[in-house]
Amino acid sequence: MHRFRAIAHNQGCFLITGDELHHLTKVLRLQRGDKVYGFDNSGRQWLGIIEKLEKDSALCRIIEEEYPEVEAKSKVYLVMGLAKGDKMEWVIQKATELGMAGFIPLRTRRSVMQLEGKKAEDRVKRWQKIAGEAAKQSRRVIEPKIEQVAEWKDLEVMLPPETQWLIAYENEKKLSFSNTLASFNPEYPIAVLIGPEGGFSGEEVREAQEKLGARSISLGSRILRTETAALAVLTMVLTYFGDLG
Amino acid sequence: MHRFRAIAHNQGCFLITGDELHHLTKVLRLQRGDKVYGFDNSGRQWLGIIEKLEKDSALCRIIEEEYPEVEAKSKVYLVMGLAKGDKMEWVIQKATELGMAGFIPLRTRRSVMQLEGKKAEDRVKRWQKIAGEAAKQSRRVIEPKIEQVAEWKDLEVMLPPETQWLIAYENEKKLSFSNTLASFNPEYPIAVLIGPEGGFSGEEVREAQEKLGARSISLGSRILRTETAALAVLTMVLTYFGDLG
């Protein structure tokens, strides 16, 4: 059955509007009486029946409200250095399926792609759309939020102070991944810093360690592309805390 | 320093030929006296100096031979249902970086893409090229072998009899991933069966369980695209056996 981002409404109903409404009427051509799923990013999901189709909204009567066990218990955020091509797009799509809590695009010293102003805003809108579609496809009930493109100095205030930071650093050879995670509290958010194509500079790693208390982790002896590293670390963290498989 | 697939030669030398030679001379324009790395898929790596550049080969004198600890100790094979678009390409590229031992493209009931004859051979050649490039980029010394497109009946004989089979199955809700892996012997090959876009049919899963002794594993409550599932399982298995991070 089709799933839509929806808005809670009075008297046991929810509303589908905007792009979602367009998709419902123009693309899927659903009709009054058809059943649909709605979710409002609060963790709940409604099974509803389309009761009224109007120009700017579809009113659906709630048949059932449920809180499916689909979201990861651990809240893992990806903070990724701006990378070229479609790398960001597909990391966001795949990471959403895997269960990331949110995504922060980061301007780094070695980022070749430097998004500014309007262009940056549009790109973030596009990324949010990709995350929304991936969330639906994977049957999640909360879409990961894609934040605006950030600078290093912004990071401290963008996530809660109790956030536990990890930084993937190819020169880190001492600390194993599991030893590091063993000291983490799964109740608190975890943010993973992933460098751009050229990786982080040594200075950036030091700053992340000093200002964010980031623990640097090795991803083993093979050199991973930035997009591969992002998905690998996310998979490793979610698996470690029992949120995958 | 640049890395090339090479061939062992007499008197402490190795040869670079074919596409690799073309890349060395035409693309990188390396000269006599330049230093390069060579590897011959045996696990060793040579540091060499270009001694003689001829039309069909570059002769390099070995300065140093080493066996870098870069390959995963556990041998994990991906067996993936033929999927559309560039999904196979990028799974092969990313899985090579992560450390897969080899890849078998599989014809499945729900595979939309049905490669046959010459077209299949050409595609496999292209996939092998992608694996070779990814191996170099990630500094591996053994390129994963991409097998010809296989049928279910072929699988038993394509990998050693002691191979331990896993099958990712979204309807598997009982068996957790780590419980299943705990019973595996990391000394023996592990093969992971990943369905095409539509997933495996129930019959295919039963056959894999009966004929290959495959253990079905859940990848959690979120629905993963086939390409995401492939990389996630590979990451989970390699991490479990200490071959990542």
Angle between helices B117-137 and B87-98 (to 10 degrees): 30
Chain A positions in Cβ-Cβ contact with residue B244 (cut-off 8 Å) = 177, 219-220, 232, 236
pTM of the model: 0.94
- Amino acid identity, residue A45? Q
Is the pLDDT at A21 greater than 80? The verdict is yes
Distance from CA of A104 to the nearest CA of B (A): 21
ipTM: 0.92
Pairing of strands B215-217, A215-217: unpaired
Would you state the structure tokens that stand for residue B103, as one six-digit string?
């890849």
Contact B94 A225 (CB under 8 A): yes
Chain B positions in Cβ-Cβ contact with residue A222 (cut-off 8 Å) = 70, 97-99, 138-140
Whole-angstrom CA distances from B165 to A137, B168, B191 are 28, 10, 5
- Which CATH fold topology does A76-240 show? Alpha/beta knot (3.40.1280)
Helix (H) or strand (E) holding A59: strand A58-66
**C-alpha to C-alpha distance for B192 and B80, rounded to whole angstroms:** 8
- Which CATH number applies to A3-66? 2.40.240.20
Per-residue pLDDT tens digits for A172-229: 666 678 888 999 999 999 999 999 998 999 999 999 999 999 999 888 889 999 999 9
* Beta strand segments in chain B, E: 3-5, 7-9, 13-16, 35-39, 45-53, 58-66, 76-81, 102-106, 145-146, 164-168, 190-194, 215-217
Per-residue pLDDT tens digits for A109-154: 998 887 889 999 999 999 999 999 999 999 999 999 999 999 999 9
- pLDDT value at position A172? 64
Whole-angstrom CA distances from B135 to A69, B40, B62, B71, B77 are 39, 12, 21, 10, 15
Per-residue pLDDT tens digits for B12-58: 999 999 999 999 999 999 999 999 999 999 999 999 999 999 999 99
- pLDDT value at position B172? 64
Q: Which of A69, A70, A244 sits opposite B219 (nearest CB)?
A: A244
Per-residue pLDDT band for B10 (boundaries 50, 70, 90) equals confident
Percent above pLDDT 70 for chain B = 98
- pLDDT value at position B85? 87
**C-alpha to C-alpha distance for B21 and B57, rounded to whole angstroms:** 6
Give just the sign of the alpha carbon dihedral B232, B234, B235, B240: positive
**C-alpha to C-alpha distance for B14 and B1, rounded to whole angstroms:** 16
**C-alpha to C-alpha distance for B1 and B63, rounded to whole angstroms:** 14
Residues forming a β-bridge with B168:
B217
Q: Which of A139, A176, A225 sits opposite B223 (nearest CB)?
A: A139
- Locate the domains of chain A by residue range: 3-66, 76-240
Give just the sign of the alpha carbon dihedral A208, A147, A157, A142: negative
- pLDDT value at position A41? 95
Distance from CA of B139 to the nearest CA of A (A): 6
Among B55, B22, B62, B19, which residue's Cα sits nearest to residue B39?
B62
Chain A positions in Cβ-Cβ contact with residue B97 (cut-off 8 Å) = 222-225, 228
